[in-house]
Amino acid sequence: MVGRRFQVLHNDSNFDLEYDTDDGFEVFQFQLYSLTSVPPDQQKIYGAEPDTQISTDSDLATISDKLRLVSIDDEPPKPELDSAQFLQSDEELARLLQAEEEALMLQQYVASENTQEFESRVRPYVSQVLMYEDEIRQEAARKSVPVEELEEKALVSLAKEGNFNPSKIERDHAFLLQLLFWFKQSFRWVNAPSCRDCGNETIDQGMTAPLPSETLYGASRVEQYRCTVCSRLTRFPRYKDPKKLVETREGRCGEWANCFTLYCRAFGYESRLILDFTDHVWTECYSQFLGRWMHLDPCEAIYDRPLLYEKGWNKKLNYVIALAKDGVYDVTKRYTRKWHEVLSRRTMVTEPSLSSILTNITNETRRGFAPQLLSIIEARDIEENQQIERSLHSEDDESLSLPGRRSGNEQWRKSRAEIGSDNLSSSACPVRLCVDEHVTKIYNAFCPVLHQFIAEEVTKAEAVEVLGITKRILLDLSSSPFKSRRASIDSVLSNPKFQKLLPSFDDLLDALSLEKKVNTDGRVEICSVGNPVVTSLALPVVLDAIDDMVHNLNKCENYGKNMFTLPLLKLNRLHSGSVVASAEELPLGIATSAFDGTQISKWEEPNGAKGCWIVYRTFDDKKYELVAYELMSANDAPERDPMDWILEGSNDEGNSWQVLDKQTSQFFKDRFQRRTYMINSAHSPSNIFSYAFADSGFLQSKIFSLLPDCKLGALISMPEHYEI
């Protein structure tokens, strides 16, 4: 152990930091974050010597004790460096512009003046996109969608960000994303269809002539496959009519994008079908929330990541054309940051000829449009072109890792060199707010229930039975319409134990925004009261909590007055704080997923093999003395479970830290297993808590409970918990 004292200068303020250099550079960066609020991935650390930047492999035992910290988002530390950076940036831009000019000059010699090939690729889609405007097709699409379910998920997604009363624009945007996720789950990718007779695998036998029933829905191409078991032939028509695809719900990227674009139009979103000449198709929708066109890939369930193909799939793009009822647009520049390279591959026609073709087709589609509508569309066209040009030479977000292609079988993706990585992740995790007060209320609400069990001399078996009845009622509520949830409890009130214990569940109902109600006919119901989204957000939490309670009751060896301890009760769980992490998976494995109280979500750290960390800051910087915490294993991949970690706390903005707990060689034998760790070391209350995890591959976890020292009447000292 080598203890050192560093003096760190940041923004004209000096910070003293005592540090054990054996803990390594990453923990050192994290402690600097606690002092200065500059996340580790944004830190530049300089030593006493001018321009000497401290690297991550530096020996902390030998570096200067006087350091200067600079955020990469701030002005660089020296004007000379600032000028040099700007000069380098200008030189790079000039180089790119020169390369573009040279590519354009070369194009004049290699590009064809025959526009027939280009038009033959585009024109068939002009009539196809008009099918999305057909009301019969739109109605067929709407009828196949669980609209209320997606509305609920959209509102819950907004509530998880603290927005419980969103505007219509926000609701529409959130619904579109849920429509994308639903479509990904409901549509089936077909490499080779299963045998229509016996269901076994098939082998490609080439193309065959379409039947009249197939050409009726635009299937001019029909693939034929032979079963590997029964040798019978299976036809796979490549339907182009999206109404038929609503029925079949299968295909490859052409069918996926064709059908999904119909769904978008069916729900009123301005939509385009995007044709990539390097063999892919996707969708764009105009987002009123973002004020611009947004990329959506239904095959991948990825949205607003236009560089997915160039950066993630390593595609060598040439032409990316958007087709809609009101025009045809060249949107290639939206999907590249290597325009000079793309230009060198655009040899089908010259740029002036391309522009002329698209203008002519667009004018054809707009014939008969009212002048007022035309002016609106043309103004939007101008705005879009300006946005695309502004983004063309913008700096890429290096912290964002875009995945390779995930649709299609692995061999096919490898043959196209599109396999790439598996994860959409970010190493620049923003500070996120934890919207989880309802989780604390739910766990606190079990205390009066357990006390009533003892007061009424309920046996362990009877207690488990009552909790089982409660869960069934809540499951009935979960399956009822979320805007008007209600479930009758008349049948269970015949159970005298449950009837007598029912008042003890009032706090739990309140935490769920539910109440008991006696109807005019005497029937007793549980129904929603207040904002129904609160109930939607809380129901998955309480269902998991009941399972956990039953599990711990069954294991409880001291059932009775002495059972009010961890892990059975988790009172006064920390909530409503803020969290930041070393990295996170987007959009479902973000840092706050570790705190939301549900089993189905998790914080996933893609760089776990390099060590990772997560920091929790309490609401209003209120200080707590922790007595315990919990971790829960995630749903899959045991090799990603945390094994070694250190938990520290600070009460002075990170100027000093105290080790609260340190664990090594931990093992989770089951999925969704919660393990409780007591804090035995003496420590003062803290308002910042840090978990630093040692090498563990991809880390996926929940830090389920941070429990602060607090008294419950004359009861027992309990900790408070937070999830990660």
Please identify which residue in the block is written with the tokens 């040009």.
Answer: 389
**Of 513 and 606, which is predicted with more confidence?**
513
Residue 59: pLDDT band with limits 50, 70, 90: confident
| Residues 329-360: tens digit of each pLDDT | 999 999 999 999 999 999 999 999 999 999 99
pLDDT > 50? residue 64: yes
Measure the CA–CA gap between 198 and 302, rounded to whole angstroms. 34
Which residues are identified as catalytic? Answer: 253, 280, 297
Model confidence pLDDT, tens digit, residues 614-667: 999 999 999 999 888 889 888 888 888 888 899 999 998 888 899 999 999 999
Q: Please name which of 426, 430, 400 lies closest in space to residue 37, comparing C-alpha atoms.
A: 430
Supply the pLDDT for residue 79.
Answer: 40
- pLDDT of 215 > 90? The answer is yes
Best mean pLDDT range from 24-33, 215-224, 586-595: 215-224
What are the pLDDT digits (tens) for 264-316? 999 999 999 999 999 999 999 999 999 999 999 999 999 999 999 999 999 99
> Cα-flanking dihedrals φ and ψ of residue 578, to 5°?
-125, 155
> Does the pLDDT at position 478 exceed 80?
yes
**Mean pLDDT computed over every residue of the chain:** 87
Residue 407 pLDDT level (bands cut at 50, 70, 90) = very high
- Residue length of the chain: 724
Can you give the three-state secondary structure of 61-103, one letter per residue? CCCCCEEEEEECCCCCCCHHHHHHHHHHHHHHHHHHHHHHHHH
Hey, which bits of 410-523 come out as E strands? 425-426, 432-433, 486-488, 514-518
**What pLDDT shows up at residue 65?**
79
pLDDT for 717 beyond 50: no
Planar angle of CA 36, 709, 715, nearest 5 degrees: 165
What confidence category does residue 326 fall into, taking pLDDT thresholds of 50, 70 and 90? Answer: very high
- Residue entry with tokens 């000292």: 717
pLDDT 10s digits, 96-149 = 778 777 777 777 777 777 889 999 999 999 999 999 999 999 999 999 999 999
pTM: 0.84
* Structural tokens at position 480: 């009822």
Residue 724 has pLDDT above 60, yes or no: no
How far apart CA 212 and CA 64 sit, in angstroms, is 81
Q: Give 100-106's long-range contacts (Cβ < 8 A, gap of 24+).
A: 100/339, 100/340, 100/343, 102/340, 103/340, 103/341, 103/343, 103/344, 104/343, 104/351, 106/344
Confidence band of 49 (pLDDT split at 50, 70, 90)? low
Q: Could you tell me which residue, 104 or 322, shows the higher pLDDT?
A: 322
Per-residue confidence (pLDDT) for residue 112, from 0 to 100: 78
pLDDT, tens digit (0-9, with 9 covering 90-100), for 667-713: 999 988 888 899 988 888 999 999 888 765 555 666 555 554 322 22
pLDDT at 369: 95
pLDDT at 399 over 80: yes
Q: What is the pLDDT of residue 698?
A: 54
